[in-house]
Amino acid sequence: MDPHLLRTFVAVARLASFSGAARELGYTQSAVSQHIAALEGDLRTELLTRRPVEPTPAGARLLEHAVPLLLRLDAARADVLRLAAAPPGRVTLAVSPLAVGPRLLAALPATGVTLRVLPPAEVAAAVATGGCDLGLVDGLAAPSDPLRLPDVAPLSVTGVGEDRLAVLLPAGHPFHGRASLRLDDLADARWIDAPGVVPAPAAVRTAPALRYDGTDLHALCALAAAGHGLVLLPRRVAADAVPVSDPRLVHRTELLAPGAPTPPAAALAARLAAAG
Amino acid sequence: MDPHLLRTFVAVARLASFSGAARELGYTQSAVSQHIAALEGDLRTELLTRRPVEPTPAGARLLEHAVPLLLRLDAARADVLRLAAAPPGRVTLAVSPLAVGPRLLAALPATGVTLRVLPPAEVAAAVATGGCDLGLVDGLAAPSDPLRLPDVAPLSVTGVGEDRLAVLLPAGHPFHGRASLRLDDLADARWIDAPGVVPAPAAVRTAPALRYDGTDLHALCALAAAGHGLVLLPRRVAADAVPVSDPRLVHRTELLAPGAPTPPAAALAARLAAAG
DNA sequence: CCCGGTTACGCTTGTCGTAAAGATT
DNA sequence: AATCTTTACGACAAGCGTAACCGGG
């Protein structure tokens, strides 16, 4: 179960090709074949079918383990290296599209910060693996509860904002114009699945109407307005959305910092935490 | 960052000795020395001080990563192997001390089950790494919220019980005999820290009065009765404790199953889930 | 001087690449 | 027949153990 073997296994499974994985990883086909054979010999199980190349049940299971495992490994490397590396003065901040509110924007220093917009699910990984120095993620949670984040690495998590929710309805929707509504009213509504913008509402589990893979909030609003499905948003970003009165679920923003932030990152984190 | 190197690093840090780690791992001192040197060379940082052997700040950070990382690795191995292994007919069930209520006990089949009592924090790891086939953990959570478990591996988590809380007070305590009380009333009370019995109440963060490392509930009750500190318990286990009326926090029990349970384990899991 | 960690060195093992063979569409 | 994976084999590097070497109590 050498990480190298796992890494090629993941690549082979993703590309559905030994030779493709070899190209991607800078190996020869032969080496990739040997890697997979080594894994399969070690576990005494077929992990992939050949021709077509597809994971067997055991292989699929290993994949579920291998991906977060390799992520954690990279995170560990990056984290320790970051501790020793010279502080570069410039701070990059990973943000999910809905995580940047006016108060936080106001708290940003005039210079020295790079913003990188990522899907919510990737922000934690970006911070953990050192691609970014800090992160701001948003998501849905019970009031004053921290978000449930994948624990790829020991990150410090600080709540920096809570907002009530609102639902974006198409023009002709019967609920349009109501002062507020409860989530239960929408129990069997059709939602737009936009994992790159709005974190998936774990509670609301119905078949999504449409999937949007971008990170653009305006495109998502346009889709909702056109009637492709409903969207659950923090109230502040959509003035014309109908407020949700349910007090059990709020939109929450968290500040993520690695265990050993660089001095400039720590300074920015303090400013953002104070502003939230 | 070979797992072998990480494993020896963890062993050396734990035993504070190169030669001790070598004995434990079946290597020579020399090999251990080379392992640590390889890690330090790879990360270009001192990870341990010698004489005495102690982790440096960077080493401490790496330790925080390495332990869960190795756990996940073992979990992955065990999980895939379990998929292929022959079903052995006997099921071992890891339980935390407070996770076994009367309903669940009634649901156990008359034969073929081994119970293993573990501290709550170790149950998930035991199931993930294959030491046990199923697990029952308890903890504190908001009503109808799943417990926050360390995600060592993709485990299926099913709630099998919720119970309200009660506080165990010493005989002469002013609150003794009250019909109920709120957690806020006990904001600056002194709690007994007993991680082997009662999962740490994340919300209640005060300096613990005393730490008890065993898994014996009766010993803990005796300590509380003797006035060493307060204990927060599910109401059902302590008839003489004062009920807590706070509706935001309940005692919850979860059933943990690996992604690929053996057939007998799956059958037992179904029975337990139905009973909860 | 002893205990414990480091360094030097030889040997075994493992891993990669080249190249030929095998299999499947 | 073409494409893709497997197998065979040789070269090279990595990893471990033995043993000599240091450095502190």
Q: Residue A56, CB, less than 7 Å from strand D? A: no
Mutation target vs B (from A65, A82, A248, A262; most B CBs, 10 A cutoff): A65
Give the rounded percent of residues in chain B with a pLDDT score beyond 70: 95
* Spatial distance between the Cα atoms of A166 and A173, rounded to a whole number of angstroms: 15
Separation between Cα atoms, residue B157 and residue B137, nearest integer Å: 10
Q: Is A60 near chain B, with CB under 8 Å?
A: no
Which residue matches tokens 């059958």? Answer: B267
Spatial separation of the C-alpha atoms in residues A96 and A121, rounded to whole Å: 8
- Return the closest-CA partner of residue A119 out of A195, A8, A22: A195
Task: For residue A187, name the pLDDT band (cuts at 50, 70, 90).
Answer: confident
Q: How far is B225 from chain A (nearest CA, A)?
A: 33
Question: Would you call B211 exposed, middle or buried from its count of C-beta atoms within 10 A (0-12, 13-18, 19+)?
Answer: exposed
**Of A182-186, A239-243, B77-81, B227-231, minimum mean pLDDT range:** A182-186
State, as a whole number of angstroms, the distance between the CA of B11 and the C1' of D24.
Answer: 23
DSSP A99-133: ---HHHHHHS-SSSEEEEE--HHHHHHHHHTTSSS
For residue B6, the surrounding DSSP H or E stretch is helix B3-15
What is the pLDDT averaged over residues B167-193? 81
Nearest chain B residue to A75 by CA: give it: B65
Amino acid at A257: A
Rounded CA separation A211/A231 (Å): 11
Q: What pLDDT is recorded for position B202?
A: 57
DSSP string of B48-81, one letter each residue: EETTTTEE-HHHHHHHHHHHHHHHHHHHHHHHHH
Does the CB of A259 have a partner CB in chain B at under 8 Å? Answer: yes
Among all residues of chain B, which has the CA nearest to that of A4?
A: B2
CB B169 within 8 A of CB B243: no
Residues of chain A in contact with residue B77, where contact means CB-CB under 8 angstroms, are 1, 43
Q: What are phi and psi of A176, to 5 degrees?
A: -60, 135
pLDDT, averaged across chain B: 86
pLDDT tops 80 at residue A276: no
**B154 interaction partners in chain A (CB closer than 8 Å):** 64-65
Of A194, A191, A192, A167, the closest CA to residue A178 belongs to A167
DSSP readout, A251-267? EEEEEEEESS--HHHHH
pLDDT in tens, B186-234: 777 788 888 888 876 655 556 667 888 888 888 888 888 888 888 889 9
Which nucleotide in the DNA or RNA is closest to residue A50, CA to C1'?
D5
| Cα-based angle B73, B77, B82 (whole degrees, multiple of 5) | 145
- Amino acid (one-letter) located at B51: R
Using an 8 Å Cβ cutoff, are B112 and B276 in contact?
no
Local confidence band at A207 (pLDDT 50, 70, 90 cut-offs): low
